[in-house]
Amino acid sequence: MKFGRYILGGRVSLGRPIFLGVAIALVVFGYLIGPRLLFEAVFPRNVTRPIAATFLKILLGLYLAGFVIAMTGSLFLGRRILRARRGRGRSTREARLLAACVSFLFGALLLEGLSAVWLARAHRIDLPEPRFPPRSVAGGPSANDLYVVVLGGSTALGSPFDSFHSGRPYESWLSIGQIVGWKLQEVFPDRRVVVDIRAVGGFNLKNALMSLPSLTRRPDAILLYSGHNEFQGFYKLSRTAVYYADEVSFRSRATRRLLRISSLSALIVEALRRHELGENPERSTVRNLVDSPACTPEERGQILDNYRARLGGFVDYCEKAGSLPIVFAPAGNDGGFDPDRSVLLPETPRPAREAFARSFREARSLEDSDPERCMAAYRSLLEKQPIFAEAHYRLARLLERRGDIEGANRHYVEARDHDGLSLCCPSDFRAAVLDLAKRDGCIVIDAEEVLRPLSPRGILNEWVFTDAHHPHLTGYVALSRDLLKRLRARRAFGWPDRVPAPHVTTAEVAAHFGMGQARWTELCQREKLWYKGIAQLRFDPSDRLARVDAYGRAAEAISKGKPPEEAGIPGLGVPKSAEAPAR
């Protein structure tokens, strides 16, 4: 480092400080891109998560402060040292400080470059070219096998018809892929049907598609059910975005600019979000009736754009691989699951937000005593604030009670689409899936269209779903039955002309996959814990806490011998009307 020795007066070298800066930069970068802390393999994640989050916040603060200090110090010290050299004076102390500042800036520059490259790679949407070795004929997979891969989140996995034990992967009892694979084996008795379930609970579309490059065999079909986790797959459940115009401070604007300028800061924030994902909201957290969303409209738009692009990339991958793409447009519990967060238009000032909340509570107090007047009040509020999800949901319930099913469905969908923390797939995301039907060779199944007839009143509610978006057994069977019909209609996999689509019933599936007393009990216990975990996401958790109690009573009743159909949970078990519900 001759230049460094010249600048620093010959007594201090830049070599060692820069080497140290590079080493620290590489360690920091390795930590940020690593999937988890080293000690997470030993200690429970509920212990390591807050430690990681605190460390990342400190790291971001130290980096920003250090950058400002190093930049200012380099300019100040460099000027003083150069002046001292002209006067033939030397200061080893100042030279060492300047060396430290330069090494920090060198390491920061390296980190910024590495972070920019990594973020570009991590956010890349294009999937690699599919390359598969020839299928072996002797031993292992046979060239005659019918190989089906299942991707997606918990619905693709078959939740809540699965078990989860800490430290072990999910064990699926039954799912769409397993039901269809079982019936395909009857259609093709001379071929072995292999169903490879790679779905993982909580996976968003990006996570789901990450397993495609690891496939070692060409799938005959790839089934994708993804869309419910696109928001909570990026942000923790308790996240609150700076949303209203009068809350956007100078600090918020500066932070947004910083994340656009500094790749390292953006990478640290992403790592922080990754460590915080999956955490339950704090019990002390109190949500407000008029709330803020989990992400800004700009962030939501970016998530939608990425979702749409990845769907297209998935179909492109299947076409190149010679695999049949099967995509489900997800459906959710519109009528039986209240919205998590209701927000107003972003330009609404605080006094207007408070006045709106008072007006809403006055309207809600009329629901039982004067429902007609209440509905008129809700409509008046929605004319002023058309995106307030809670008003749409309450109005829909009153319309359903009055028998206006079409109007109720319309407002239930509005409530779902405007939820500030949606646990269900919104309509614009579903539309992105349905658009794939325009492409040749792609099977697209609208889950709403298939599941709606299962509800006695044609409303997607607790008769169809166990929770926010996981279907009852009858729902999984209906989706599987529809897929089998579509496969037969297109003569997929060389389907014999004279072989009809297998007719599969709920009772048959329950018997084949061993849905006995113990599993129905475990299912109810899991749903009890699920509702308990998300109750605090709402300003009013009473309905969800009531479902906690209902599933708890159902689990106890089933464990004592009562049939699940009589345990008090709508749609549970194998209802007699499962195949042709009365309307």
If asked whether residues 101 and 172 sit together in one domain, one would say no
Share of the chain above pLDDT 70, in %: 82
39-88 pLDDT per residue, tens: 444 445 555 666 777 777 787 777 778 888 888 887 887 777 677 665 55
Rounded distance, CA 313 to CA 467, Å? 31
Residues 113 and 175 in one domain: no
- Torsion (CA) 436, 442, 443, 449 in degrees, nearest 10: 10
Amino acid making up residue 307: Y
Indicate whether 230 belongs to any domain: yes
Distance of CA 203 to the CA centre of its chain: 6
Does the pLDDT at position 569 exceed 70?
Answer: yes
The reply to whether 398 falls in a domain is no
Q: Does residue 295 sit in the same domain as residue 164?
A: yes
408 within some domain: no
Residues paired with 471 in a beta bridge: 465
Q: Establish if 517 belongs to a structural domain.
A: yes
Given pLDDT bands bounded at 50, 70 and 90, which one contains residue 286? confident
- The span from the first CA to the last CA of the chain, in angstroms, equals 84
CATH number at residue 481: 3.40.50.1110
Say whether pLDDT at 369 is over 50. Answer: yes
Q: Are 245 and 350 in contact (CB under 8 A)?
A: no
> Which residue, among 113, 92, 100, has the nearest Cα to 74 in the 3D structure?
100
403 in a domain, yes or no? Answer: no
Q: Which of 52-66, 201-215, 411-425, 449-463 has the lowest mean pLDDT?
A: 52-66
116 and 160, same domain (yes or no): no
Q: Is 186 a member of any domain?
A: yes
Number of compact structural domains in the chain: 2
Neighbours of 62 (CB within 10 A): 10
Please check whether residues 117 and 150 belong to one and the same domain.
Answer: no
pLDDT for res 268: 75
Q: What is the mean pLDDT of the chain?
A: 85
**Which residue segment(s) compose the domain that 114 sits in?**
2-122
Read out DSSP for 366-393?
A: TTTT-HHHHHHHHHHHHHH-TT-HHHHH
Residue 320 lies in a domain: yes
Structural domain ending residue among the three candidates 107, 122, 137 = 122
Cα–Cα dist 393/377, whole Å: 14
Residue 10: per-residue pLDDT: 47
Q: To which residue do tokens 């749903």 refer?
A: 527
Which comes out higher in pLDDT, residue 578 or 454?
A: 454
List phi, psi (to 5°) of 184.
-65, -30
Tell me: do 474 and 556 sit in the same domain. yes
User: Which range has the worst mean pLDDT, 55-59, 129-133, 203-207?
Assistant: 55-59
pLDDT band at 2 (very low <50, low <70, confident <90, very high): very low
User: What's the pLDDT tens digit per position in 226-259?
Assistant: 999 998 877 778 888 889 988 876 566 666 666 6
User: Are 110 and 193 contained in the same domain?
Assistant: no
pLDDT at 256: 63
This prediction has a pTM of 0.81
Asked if residue 90 and residue 167 are part of one domain, the reply reads no
> Minimum mean pLDDT among 270-279, 309-318, 395-404, 499-508: which range?
270-279
Residues 110 and 150 in one domain: no
* Shared-domain flag, residues 110 and 161: no
Kind plus residue range of the DSSP H or E element containing 539: none
Same domain for 114 and 167, yes or no, is no
Q: How confident is the model at residue 216 (pLDDT cuts 50, 70, 90)?
A: confident
